[in-house]
């Protein structure tokens, strides 16, 4: 009997060890996957996304990448405005917002430059949000109604934004 108990204990220990190794392997896989595919602190807050998706007066801007405009009427966050278009279609707003929200996956850093050529402005229940976007360096500066500024990293091309602006005869800055 003692041999049978000893053998049974050994088998139990082997099973537990195998499960532990499998569990650690799965945990390691998840950690690596999360690190490269999902960045939990790099996202657009829900209220920003909601404002962009629901505001029928949300506006897409083409802006000068150099911040030299000061507070003139034809500037947005110190960038001269080349042109703008209102995103009156819910489908257009959803499509353009989706480019940004999907592009945060796997983005955890941006280049040292910040030469934005696009911006979005939308108003929600808490106030107006400005998003100044640099697709080249992978950064979006989100200006909240309460004065906070948030940095969100992205990995996306400006093609969809440029096509949208061009189709509406909005001039683009030099790329």
The tens place of each residue's pLDDT in the chain, 175 residues long, gives: 566 666 677 776 677 766 767 777 666 555 444 443 444 567 899 999 999 999 999 999 999 998 876 666 788 999 999 999 999 999 999 999 999 999 887 776 677 788 999 999 999 999 999 999 999 999 999 999 999 999 999 999 999 999 999 999 999 988 7
- The pLDDT > 90 percentage for the chain reads 59
Core vs surface per residue 79-101: b (16+ CB within 10 A) or e: bbbbebbebeeeeebeebbebbb
**CA-angle at 156, arms to 53 and 97, nearest 5°:** 0
Instruction: Give the Cα separation of 119 and 59 in Å (integer).
Output: 8
The reply to whether the predicted model has a pTM over 0.85 is no
CA distance 120 to 129: 8
pLDDT of residue 82: 95
The CATH number of 46-167, from 3.40.50, 1.10.1740, 3.40.1350, 3.30.1490, is 3.30.1490
- Is the distance from CB of 77 to CB of 119 less than 8 angstroms? yes
Domain boundaries, the chain: 1-37, 46-167
- Residue 108 confidence (pLDDT): 66
Judge whether 149 and 143 are in contact, CB under 8 Å: yes
- Tens-place pLDDT, residues 59-106: 999 999 988 766 667 889 999 999 999 999 999 999 999 999 998 877
């Amino acid at each position: 009997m003692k041999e049978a108990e000893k053998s049974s204990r050994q088998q139990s220990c082997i099973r537990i060890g195998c499960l532990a190794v499998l569990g650690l392997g799965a945990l390691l896989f998840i950690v690596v996957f999360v690190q490269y595919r999902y960045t939990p602190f790099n996202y657009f807050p829900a209220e920003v996304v909601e404002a962009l998706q629901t505001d029928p007066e949300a506006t897409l801007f083409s802006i000068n990448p150099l911040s030299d405009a000061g507070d003139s009427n034809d500037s947005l966050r110190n960038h001269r405005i080349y042109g703008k278009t209102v995103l009156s279609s819910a489908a257009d707003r959803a499509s353009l917002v989706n480019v940004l929200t999907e592009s945060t996956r796997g983005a955890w850093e941006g280049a040292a430059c910040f030469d934005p050529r696009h911006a979005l402005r939308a108003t929600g229940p808490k106030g107006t949000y400005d998003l100044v976007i640099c697709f080249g360096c992978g950064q979006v500066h989100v200006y909240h109604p309460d004065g906070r500024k948030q940095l969100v990293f992205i990995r996306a091309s400006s093609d969809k934004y440029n096509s949208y602006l061009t189709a509406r005869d909005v001039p683009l800055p030099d790329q």
